[in-house]
């Protein structure tokens, strides 16, 4: 399995608080992605990164920001969490934009 870890694995927080999720890889892959998964919607892309300090928006980026200061780490931040951001968040990596993506184990976030 690709070396991808996500932390925390579970988090419960309150509306209005900031939250940061971390994705860490040991594969030295250039591309990293954040998805969210909700019932009835499948997985939807939030943001992705194509290199250190290079990021772009996905289809559901509102309310989220990302940062990538090192190849191995991709952070997803909810500046002020809302209940609609309760979801399971998956990180993925790929060697190039054309290659298959490998997914992490997920983070279950509950916003009360």
Partner 1 sequence: DAKTTQPPSMDCAEGRAANLPCNHSTISGNEYVYWYRQIHSQGPQYIIHGLKNNETNEMASLIITEDRKSSTLILPHATLRDTAVYYCIVRVGTASKLTFGTGTRLQVTL
Distance CA 90, CA 47 (A): 11
Task: Enumerate residues 13-72 that contact partner 1 by CB under 8 A.
Answer: 31, 33, 35, 40-45, 48, 50, 58-59
Residue 94 interacts with partner 1 (CB under 8 A)?
yes
Distances (CA, A) of 5 to 15, 62, 75, 80: 26, 24, 12, 24
| 62 or 100: CB nearest partner 1 | 100
Q: Which of 22, 67, 73, 102 binds partner 1 (CB under 8 A)?
A: 102
Q: In the bound complex, what is the minimum distance in angstroms from residue 100's beta carbon to partner 1? A: 4
Distance CA 67, CA 32 (A): 11
Contact between 47 and 55 under an 8 Å Cβ cutoff? The reply is: yes
| 8 or 80: CB nearest partner 1 | 8
Report the SS3 class of residue 84: helix
Tell me which residues touch partner 1 (CB under 8 A): 4, 31, 33, 35, 40-45, 48, 50, 58-59, 88, 90, 92, 94, 97-98, 100-106
């Amino acid at each position: 399995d690709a070396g991808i870890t996500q932390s925390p694995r579970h988090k419960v927080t309150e509306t209005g608080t900031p939250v940061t999720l971390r994705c860490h890889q040991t594969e030295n892959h250039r591309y990293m992605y954040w998805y969210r998964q909700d019932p009835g919607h499948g997985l939807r892309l939030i943001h992705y990164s194509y290199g250190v300090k290079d990021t772009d928006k996905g289809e559901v980026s509102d309310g989220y920001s990302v940062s990538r200061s090192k190849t191995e780490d991709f952070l997803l931040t909810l500046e002020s969490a809302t209940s609609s951001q309760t979801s399971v968040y998956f990180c993925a990596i790929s060697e190039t934009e054309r290659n298959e993506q490998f997914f992490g184990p997920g983070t279950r976030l509950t916003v009360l």
